[in-house]
């Protein structure tokens, strides 16, 4: 049976890699399909964040008087627009990634994934890719609307550097999301509360609507860069609006690269360990707990 | 000798029961554990369609979860294709699959074809081959017209049929079907049983483990059966041999016209073990237990010689229900009532 040529006893690395990619693309398909088939998202997930951006943008404009301080006003407004766009990724990491395996278990899909030969990291990568794609569309809509409505100048010091920072921010963020997914799989219902707990404080620590380096003491700001969203947004603001940052751009790029590697490897380790524990405790298949 | 397709030895699984519920301390004598499987030893040969028959809470689903690598046993060993389900789970997964009757898996936003494709890709089935198999399987279960319908728009039965297809599209060598026809209409259930039989014939190396509540389904499909209750295997044999356990002698029932004679002498005939009769206004119902089946000839001849008019004659076959009652001490329906009153049902 396992010796049969159709079911090789030990899959080759090439076969394993192909299965990883197949699983990732297949799982991401369900998320991307959602983008095209649930169009109501356009209102609640783009119009509402743009309204939130407007509130902060008008506050900054009222305080900084764009006629006498056009550059600073534009910088601050741009900072808020970028914050709103990037926050959509954080929300997706929390709700779309962190709680994902919990949802999958309750819908009965998790046991099918675990039982299949596809590596669970492949399945999680698929969730991440799908989440990134759909959130990228949302973030682009929010950013475009913000730039057009509030006349934000888009003139980065380097487009490739901006792309690199954005890519690393997403890699680190979704690596963190994969870690959350593994932990939440074991914790079950408590995961829900943890997601809620993480949502609001992170808005503050990442400086969604204000420059972290200008408000927090250096030590607090430096500690906050352990959250990839903080380091990523800070570096992107430096590249886009030339605002002072917590650290230099390249230092933050390095931090994001290190965080990405740490989060992805920890996610892989945690997933294997917690999946084993869940099998022992019978939690892979028990629903609503 | 062939490696067994499935082998378990002294397999045990216990679940820890919650000690506190809604802040209430448990009763001092409340059990700390629930034993779902208690030392199950089984061998299923390659090519066999093996059935597990038992009431809710008997341990059937727990056994399947362990064999499909979803649950670790508390003690004992379990192997699929000669590979250990705990230490070699990754090598088992490419050649197994499972379908549960009550499962609600799938993505509502995707249509039937997309859902089946998604799960086929988890096994590395190439897209073109997956679509061919999807077409073929949807035809089997009569869902071809629903291929493009979103899963969220399907009825429960249609969703169940979709999941049935999912199990076969990866062409598993060992397939686990957990109550596959539960809740399906008679025609669909019959079509599924017919397909399962054909699927097994197509490739003799395929093995199928089926759990079911339906005695007739088990009798109809399975090469061998294990009757399981409270986590223990009570008997394991072919349906025919299991039935022989409850009927030592062949039994025939005869219906005679009122006023017929000769039936009182049947017990004295050589070859007749026992004879009973009940006189009713419209007939005389006679039941004879024979040492050997051919003795029925002498019974009929005796009745005919004594002027009896035989209205009906039939051989009484024991059913698996009889076997179940003999082994478990109650019928399947009674056991389910008991389970509904408080025993853990999802073991």
Mean pLDDT of all residues in A253-261 = 96
The 3-state DSSP class for residue B125 equals coil
Residue to mutate among A115, A271, A275, with most B CBs inside 10 A, is A115
Is pTM beyond 0.90? Reply is: no
Q: What is the pLDDT of residue A27?
A: 94
Mean pLDDT of all residues in A166-189 = 86
**Winning range, highest mean pLDDT, from A21-25, B21-25, B334-338:** A21-25
Q: Which residues of B touch A20 (CB under 8 A)?
A: none
Q: B273 burial class (0-12, 13-18, 19+ CB within 10 angstroms)?
A: middle
Buried b (16+ CB within 10 A) or exposed e, A93-126: bbbbbbbbbbbbbebbbbbbbbbbbbbbbbbbbb
Of all residues in chain B, what percent carry a pLDDT higher than 70? 91
CATH 3.30.70.100 residue window(s) in chain B: 249-316
A58 close contact with B: CB closer than 8 A: no
3-state DSSP of A157-182: CCHHHHHHHHHHHHHHHHHHHHHHHH
Q: What is the pLDDT of residue B67?
A: 96
Q: Which residues does residue B225 pair with via DSSP β-bridges, in sequence order?
A: B51, B237
Confidence class for position A288, pLDDT limits 50, 70, 90: very low
A7 close contact with B: CB closer than 8 A: yes
**Residue A287 reports pLDDT greater than 70:** no
Confidence class for position B101, pLDDT limits 50, 70, 90: confident
* Dist. CA B152–CA B138, nearest whole Å: 17
A124 close contact with B: CB closer than 8 A: no
* Dist. CA B9–CA B37, nearest whole Å: 11
B249 close contact with A: CB closer than 8 A: no
Please, what is the average pLDDT of chain B?
A: 87
Q: What are phi and psi of B237, to 5 degrees?
A: -170, -175
* Dist. CA B332–CA B321, nearest whole Å: 8
Structure-token match 């009570």, residue found: B234
Q: Which residues does residue B7 pair with via DSSP β-bridges, in sequence order?
A: B43, B79
Whether residue B287 contacts residue B276, with contact meaning beta carbons closer than 8 Å, is answered with yes
A30 close contact with B: CB closer than 8 A: yes
Taking an 8 Å cut-off on Cβ atoms, the answer to whether B174 and A1 are in contact is: yes
Q: What is the pLDDT of residue A3?
A: 46
Mean pLDDT of all residues in A77-89 = 89
The 3-state DSSP class for residue B319 equals coil
CATH 3.40.50.300 residue window(s) in chain B: 6-244+321-340
Considering only residues B166 and A205, tell me which one the structure prediction assigns the higher pLDDT. Answer: B166
Taking an 8 Å cut-off on Cβ atoms, the answer to whether A114 and B69 are in contact is: yes
The 3-state DSSP class for residue B14 equals strand
**Residue B47 reports pLDDT greater than 90:** yes
Of all residues in chain A, what percent carry a pLDDT higher than 70? 92
* Shortest CA gap A261–chain B (Å): 25
Q: B19 burial class (0-12, 13-18, 19+ CB within 10 angstroms)?
A: exposed
Taking an 8 Å cut-off on Cβ atoms, the answer to whether B123 and A116 are in contact is: yes
A242 close contact with B: CB closer than 8 A: no
Residue to mutate among B6, B108, B124, B165, with most A CBs inside 10 A, is B124
pLDDT tens profile A140-156: 988 998 899 888 888 89
**What superfamily does domain B6-244+321-340 belong to in CATH?**
P-loop containing nucleotide triphosphate hydrolases (3.40.50.300)
Fold assignment, B249-316: Alpha-Beta Plaits (3.30.70)
A109 close contact with B: CB closer than 8 A: yes
Q: Which residues does residue B310 pair with via DSSP β-bridges, in sequence order?
A: B256
Structure-token match 């009745």, residue found: B303
């Amino acid at each position: 049976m396992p010796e049969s040529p159709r079911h090789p006893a030990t899959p080759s690395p090439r076969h394993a890699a192909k299965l990883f990619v197949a699983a990732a693309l297949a799982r991401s398909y369900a998320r991307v399909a959602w983008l095209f088939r649930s169009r109501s998202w356009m209102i609640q997930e783009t119009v509402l964040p743009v309204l939130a951006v407007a509130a902060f943008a008008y506050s900054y404009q009222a305080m900084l008087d764009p006629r006498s301080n056009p550059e600073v006003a534009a910088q601050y407004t741009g900072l808020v627009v970028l914050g709103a766009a990037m926050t959509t990724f954080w929300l997706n990491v929390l709700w779309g990634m962190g709680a994902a395996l919990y949802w999958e278990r309750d819908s009965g899909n998790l046991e099918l994934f675990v039982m299949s030969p596809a590596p669970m990291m492949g399945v999680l990568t698929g969730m991440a890719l799908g989440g990134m794609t759909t959130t990228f569309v949302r973030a682009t809509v929010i950013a475009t609307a913000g730039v057009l409505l509030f006349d934000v100048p888009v003139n980065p010091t380097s487009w490739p550097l901006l792309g690199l920072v954005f890519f690393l921010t997403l890699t680190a963020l979704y690596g963190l999301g994969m870690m959350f997914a593994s932990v939440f799989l074991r914790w079950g219902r408590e995961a829900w509360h943890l997601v809620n707990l993480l949502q609001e404080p992170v808005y503050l620590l990442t400086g969604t609507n204000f420059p972290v380096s200008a408000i927090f003491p250096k030590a607090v700001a430096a500690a906050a860069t352990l959250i990839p969203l903080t380091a990523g947004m800070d570096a992107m603001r430096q590249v886009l609006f030339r605002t002072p940052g917590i650290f230099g751009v390249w230092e933050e790029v390095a931090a994001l690269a290190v965080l990405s590697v740490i989060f992805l490897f920890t996610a892989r380790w945690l997933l294997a360990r917690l999946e084993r524990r869940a099998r022992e405790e019978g939690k892979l298949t028990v629903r609503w707990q | 000798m062939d490696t067994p397709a499935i082998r378990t030895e002294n397999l045990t699984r216990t679940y820890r029961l919650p000690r506190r519920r809604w802040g209430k301390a448990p009763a001092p004598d409340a059990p700390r554990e629930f034993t779902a499987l208690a030392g199950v030893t089984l061998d299923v040969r390659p090519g066999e369609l093996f059935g597990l028959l038992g009431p809710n809470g008997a341990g059937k689903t727990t056994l399947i979860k362990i064999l499909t690598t979803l649950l670790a046993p508390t003690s004992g060993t379990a192997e699929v294709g000669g590979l250990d389900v705990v230490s070699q789970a990754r090598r088992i997964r490419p050649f197994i699959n499972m379908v549960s009757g009550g499962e609600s898996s799938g993505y509502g936003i995707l249509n039937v074809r997309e859902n089946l494709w998604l799960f086929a890709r988890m096994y590395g089935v190439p897209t073109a081959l997956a679509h061919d198999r999807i077409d073929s399987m949807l035809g089997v279960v009569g869902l071809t017209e629903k291929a493009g319908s979103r899963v969220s728009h399907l009825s429960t039965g249609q969703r169940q049929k979709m999941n049935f297809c999912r199990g076969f599209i990866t062409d598993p060598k060992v397939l686990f079907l957990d109550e596959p026809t539960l809740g399906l209409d008679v025609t669909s259930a019959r079509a599924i049983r017919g397909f399962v039989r054909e699927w097994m014939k197509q490739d003799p190396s395929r093995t199928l483990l089926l759990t079911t509540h339906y005695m007739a389904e088990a009798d109809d499909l399975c090469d061998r059966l294990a009757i399981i209750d409270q986590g223990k295997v009570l008997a394991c044999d072919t349906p025919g041999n299991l039935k022989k356990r409850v009927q030592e002698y062949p039994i025939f029932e005869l219906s005679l016209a009122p006023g017929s004679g000769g039936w009182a002498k049947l017990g004295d005939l050589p070859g007749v073990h026992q004879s009973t009769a009940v006189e009713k206004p419209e007939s005389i119902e006679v039941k004879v237990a024979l040492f050997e089946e051919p003795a029925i000839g002498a019974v009929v001849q005796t009745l005919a010689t004594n002027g009896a008019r035989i209205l009906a004659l039939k051989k009484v076959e024991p059913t698996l229900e009889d076997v179940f009652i003999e082994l478990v001490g109650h019928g399947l329906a009674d056991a389910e009532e008991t389970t509904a009153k408080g025993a853990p049902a999802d073991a």
